[in-house]
Amino acid sequence: MEDHHAILAVLADYFAGLYTGDTALLRSVFHPDAALFAEVAGQPYHKRLDDYLAGVDTRRSPEELGEPYRMKVLSVDVTYSIATARVHVPAHGFNYYNHLSLVRYEGVWVIVNKTFFDVPLRAQKEPA
């Protein structure tokens, strides 16, 4: 249960970083070699962490846009020193669904991979 709580703390920082646009906080929850994959607006998307954070730095945060904070954890599965988390991130007019792979690396839980997709907020109801 201790690992589960530690992962929830990582996810809370992940959400806070996304919501406020705090790239230093976001960097702290990712492994430096993390990779991000998705299909965004019908196009393949792949970025390394530094490129992703540069994009976060140049856009207005959900907080700056006055969007309500509605990010939430949908599930967490822990097996020894690896874990997966599925999270819902409504932001910038989209429902983002993230599947995050985490590893306990040098004693600290970090996100090593993020896969995600986006659906316009008005196009779909939230999954159960």
CATH number, domain of 38, equals 3.10.450.50
pLDDT at 123: 54
Please check whether residue 101 is in contact with residue 113, taking contact to mean a CB–CB distance below 8 angstroms: yes
- Secondary structure letter of residue 92 according to DSSP: T
Residue 11 covered by a domain: yes
Q: What average pLDDT does range 42-71 have in this prediction?
A: 96
User: So what's the pLDDT on residue 40?
Assistant: 83
| Strands laid side by side in the 108-120 sheet | 43-48, 30-40, 108-120, 94-105, 82-91, 72-79
pLDDT in tens, 1-28: 799 999 999 999 999 999 999 999 999 9
Q: Within a domain: residue 52? A: yes
- Asked if 125 contacts 51 with a C-beta cutoff of 8 angstroms, the reply is no
Query: Residue 94: which of 63, 117, 68, 128 has the closest Cα?
Result: 117
Kindly report the pTM of this predicted structure.
Answer: 0.91
pLDDT band at 118 (very low <50, low <70, confident <90, very high): confident
Classify residue 26: in a domain, yes or no: yes
Mean pLDDT of the chain: 93
Q: Is residue 128 part of a domain?
A: no
Q: Which domain holds residue 20?
A: 2-123
| Chain centroid to CA 2 | 21
Q: Domain count of the chain?
A: 1
